Amino acid sequence: MRRNWSPLPDRENSLSDAGVPAWLSNSVGYEVYIRSFGDGNADGIGDMVGLLPHLDHLAWLGVDVVWITPFYPSPMADYGYDVADYEGVAPEFGTLDDFDRVVARAHDLGLRVVVDIVPNHTSDVHAWFEASRSDPEGDHRDYYIWRDPAPGGGPPNNWMSHFGGPAWTLDEASGQYYLHLFLPEQPDLNWRNPAVRSEFEKILRFWLDRGVDGFRIDVAHALIKDEQLRDNPMLMPLDGVTDASYRFICMDHRYDLTQPETLDIYRSWRHIVEQYDAVLIGETYVLDPADLAKMLPGDGLHIGFWFTPMHMEWEAGAIRRTLSAATEAVPAGVGWVQSSHDESRPVARYGGGDLGRRRSLGLSVLMMGLPGVPFIYQGEELGLDDGVVPADQLTDPLAVRNEDSVGRDACRTPMPWGPGPNLGFSTAARTWLPIGHGVEWSVASEMADPRSHLNRVRELLRVRCAITDLATMPTRWHDCPGDLVGFSRGDHIFVLNVGDTVASWQPGGRWDCVYRSVGFETDSSMSEISLVPAEAVILARSAPGPT
């Protein structure tokens, strides 16, 4: 199933017509949330040694790119997204030698490895910040964004943290505030300082020289801030709004996010990664297609994640608008996602149980047919619902530090692999989060059932892989009847029934059904297709018969 792959170390810069490495074309990515994937040292936390044997599962599934969430040394205030050292591996995750073994094994299996880089902020125990805080006159002070209080006292402006409260914390010793768009333990770097840019160019080369194939860039839309640090306009009053996430969206983030100068950073990074045939994938958390297009001008980031599908309703018009808007704005650079370690799982969002699984898989069929790179979040291939996490076992700072916030623990529970202690994730007496699922949803159980969600996803990836023109064919949306949503890519049609009743459609001509999300049965040379509720199909144009 592997394609467009040339093993390391014989790397050659091979660009597709779209300006991205040829190996990325027609690929499918997979997110490994390292803490919850596999525990190799029985401490209840996932690690590199635990990841290593499960790479075979990813190769069997048919993915091409493995994205590993942060594994760097960290005090874990935000579970690795508060980095204390960008050129190491946290002891709970293993060693650099363990990481090297993961990369080598992945490459042997034909998998590319993308690592998470966190450039917007560091940990407050990073050596740069400790020097910045301890010496206001030193060179590292300007590595971060420090400002005097507002004229009347208090924070320098009205910016808010994603995690609740002001985006500023006062340093009593110096009398100045430092900026943090996330936790106070995650101070924002000053990307207007050339020294910061130089530091990260060295960090990129460090990991590229170890064999990684690219970077998923955390908070890719927010590195540069408004030079004047102007107040953001308010979209709605905050009165009565207590949930941290909702408070954040009450503000028009005109000056703290999506500043155009950020693109210059990725243009310079592009010159570096092209020397290694590597890629830049942005966590571009913007929900407007025009804003996404601005983040992907063609000479910086190769791919930008499109997160709006995580917030859309299960309604035909909403699905078509959300998907078509991104393809029209960014014809080839979209990273398609319907789940991640930051959002409730799609099975839960789309009704839960079997209904949620059918809907999630049906949406996956559409995403697998669109131009760009679809990503699967670990457990999505199993059809996992949100995991069950008792209130006294919550760990996410969003939930722990904000009384009215649910947090993200339910989508981060450990991966269920099979029968036995902790469903094969760990032999520890207690895991960092409870397992959250039953054995019937484990990899081993679903692998043994030919009609399982897992095997349906694997078949979907196999069919997608066989459609060799997906990287080049334009997308043509159809005016389907009723609650059907569909489009053509070359000689293939992808269509989903969003409604609650059986729907039929005559697309014109004769078609072979090569994939059904609600069954493995396929049909040949038909002029009409019928779909049950939440079913998606892939049609291939029938070959002309003998004359």
Antiparallel, parallel or unpaired: β 492-497 and 536-541: antiparallel
Hey, what are 402's tokens? 């904000």
Q: Within 13 Å, how many C-alpha atoms sit on residue 456's CB side? A: 25
Hey, what are 115's tokens? 């690592």
* C-alpha dihedral sign at 471, 472, 474, 477: negative
Q: What is the DSSP letter of 187?
A: P
Residue 198, H or E segment: helix 194-209
CA 85 – CA 74 distance, rounded (Å): 7
Residue 283 appears among annotated catalytic residues: yes
Q: Which amino acid is at 98?
A: D
CA 223 – CA 214 distance, rounded (Å): 19
- Where does 394-436 show beta strands of DSSP type E? none
CA distances from 493 to 56, 241, 496, 508, 540 (A): 31, 44, 10, 11, 7
CA 376 – CA 314 distance, rounded (Å): 19
Candidates 39, 64, 188, 283; catalytic one: 283
Q: What is the DSSP letter of 167?
A: S
CA distances from 116 to 219, 281, 323, 501 (A): 11, 9, 26, 42
Antiparallel, parallel or unpaired: β 146-147 and 176-179: antiparallel
**At a CB cut-off of 8 Å and minimum separation 6, what does 396 contact?**
79, 407, 408, 409, 412
Hey, what are 338's tokens? 């319907």
Contact 372, 417 (CB under 8 A): no
CA 366 – CA 470 distance, rounded (Å): 12
Candidates 92, 218, 380, 381; catalytic one: 218
Question: Any idea what the Cα angle at residue 278 is, between residues 61 and 180, rounded to 5°?
Answer: 95
CA 278 – CA 213 distance, rounded (Å): 5
What is the maximum span of the chain, computed from C-alpha positions, in angstroms?
Answer: 88
Hey, what are 12's tokens? 């050659």
CA 20 – CA 12 distance, rounded (Å): 13
Q: 266: burial class by Cβ within 10 Å (0-12, 13-18, 19+)?
A: buried
Nearest to 30 by CA among 60, 50, 9, 6: 60
Q: 496: burial class by Cβ within 10 Å (0-12, 13-18, 19+)?
A: buried
Residue 148 appears among annotated catalytic residues: no
Of the chain, the end-to-end C-alpha distance in Å amounts to 34
Radius of gyration of the CA atoms of the chain, in A: 23
CA 528 – CA 484 distance, rounded (Å): 13
Hey, what are 40's tokens? 């190799």
Residues tagged active-site? 218, 283
